Amino acid sequence: FAPRHLLSIADLTPTEFSTLLSNASSHKTAIKSGVTPAALAGKLSGKTIALMFSKRSTRTRVSTEAAVTSMGGHPMFLGSGDIQLGVNESLYDTSVVISSMVSAMVARVNAHDEVANLAKHSSVPVINALSADFHPLQTIADFVTIQETFGKEKVQGLKVAWVGDANNVLFDLAIGCLKMGVDIAVAAPAGYEIPAAMKQLILASAPKGSTAKLTETNVPEEAIKGSDILVTDTWISMGQEEESAKRLKAFAGYQITEELARRGGAKDSWRFMHCLPRHSEEVDDEVFYGRRSLVFPEAENRLWAAISALEGFVVNKGNIV
């Protein structure tokens, strides 16, 4: 049997996505009260999970290592200096060889094709730990946080405003929003918007009959109007360091502040999210560390998201129940 992989939230039905969120939340409650659920206890015992990271990481590395350990497995961290991931060996060879020795691969790569190729040739499940196009583990954690904050029953009908660079974190978040009935408005400067092919993919991933909308603008205030949640990410992702000066200039006026939210007409109760790592240019300290900020619960939820994804794709072999 071909294994089932998690490369993007687009790979999930709305029901499967909701189930991953519910499992993450219920495991969080149980484990924090000192009970390891039977669905997890020892389920990766004797199994090795390869964590193949071509790029640095704090949250994704720590959460996936801790998640594997909590289920009794062995997380084998393989950094860019350790293995021939996309260097000196084809991805086909790497995938066939590593998947013959481990129970799953969790991979952080550069181009999305790299993780797609690993998955194509792997005999075990592959979980995308961030590619140039998608970051599904982040979106699971984000929606766990949104459900905790607003109440599971009140998520449908919320409005998210993404203000900043249209990047991989946004793409999976937008897919998640449309699957959950959440409107998402994106404000990005000209030249930094969602690429047309990605926009098509996001819209195509919406369930039939969904009334949730994806809208785009170059004006932050337009996206913010009536929003419940303001979200941003770094303006300079890994690998874009040489574009720093150009990007800082292009994104002027996009910093999330109380003043911008007021001017844009966010709801009085608006909350703030950011996947981290954070830089002060995209959000000021008042918002990032203030009463509206969900950033640290959101980061912690990366652990519960990783546990839920490993349970669904490795323990239960893609049968998300």
For the annotated catalytic residues, the residue numbers are 275
CA-nearest of 147, 156, 168, 155 to 10 is 168
Give the shortest CB-139-to-ligand CP separation in angstroms.
Answer: 11
- Measured from the Cβ of residue 295, the count of other Cβ atoms closer than 10 Å reads 18
What is the C-alpha to C-alpha distance for residues 45 and 39, in angstroms, rounded to an integer?
13
Q: Is 125 left (phi over 0), alpha (psi -120 to 50) or beta?
A: beta
Contact 109, 57 (CB under 8 A): no
Residue with smaller CB distance to ligand CP, 157 or 277: 277
Would you tell me how many other CB atoms lie within 10 Å of the CB of residue 157?
Answer: 13
Q: Which is nearer to ligand CP, 173 or 206 (CB)?
A: 173
Q: Which residues contact 208 (CB under 8 A, 6 or more apart)?
A: none
Minimum distance between the CB of residue 242 and ligand CP, rounded to whole angstroms?
Answer: 19
What minimum distance in Å lies between the beta carbon of 60 and ligand CP? Answer: 3
DSSP H or E run through 229: strand 229-232
Omega of the bond leading into 220 within 30 degrees of 0 (cis): no
Q: Please give the structure tokens belonging to residue 122.
A: 């792997």
Tell me the closest approach of the beta carbon of residue 53 to ligand CP, in angstroms: 9
**Nearest residue (CB) to ligand CP, 23 versus 54:** 54
Residue number, 203 or 276, with CB nearest to ligand CP: 276
Three-point CA angle 144, 308, 78, nearest 5°? 115
Q: Would you state the torsion angle of the CA atoms of residues 307, 146, 170, 217, taken in this order, to the nearest 10 degrees?
A: 170
CB of 204 vs ligand CP, minimal distance in Å:
25
| Comparison of 57 and 227: residue with beta carbon closer to ligand CP | 57
Q: Are 142 and 17 in contact (CB under 8 A)?
A: no
Q: Give residue for tokens 């785009």.
A: 216
Sign of the torsion formed by the C-alpha atoms of 190, 157, 290 and 141: negative
Query: Which residues are at the interface with ligand CP (CB under 6 A)?
Result: 57-60, 130, 138, 275-277
CA distance linking residue 109 with residue 92, whole number of Å: 15
Beta carbon of residue 90, minimum distance to ligand CP (angstroms, whole number): 26
Please state, as a whole number, how many other Cβ atoms lie within 10 Å of the Cβ of residue 18: 18
Q: Pick the closer one to ligand CP by CB: 57 or 308.
A: 57
CA 144, CA 126: separation in Å to the nearest integer?
A: 22
Residue 149 vs 301, nearer CB to ligand CP: 301
In whole angstroms, the minimum distance from the beta carbon of 157 to ligand CP comes to: 27
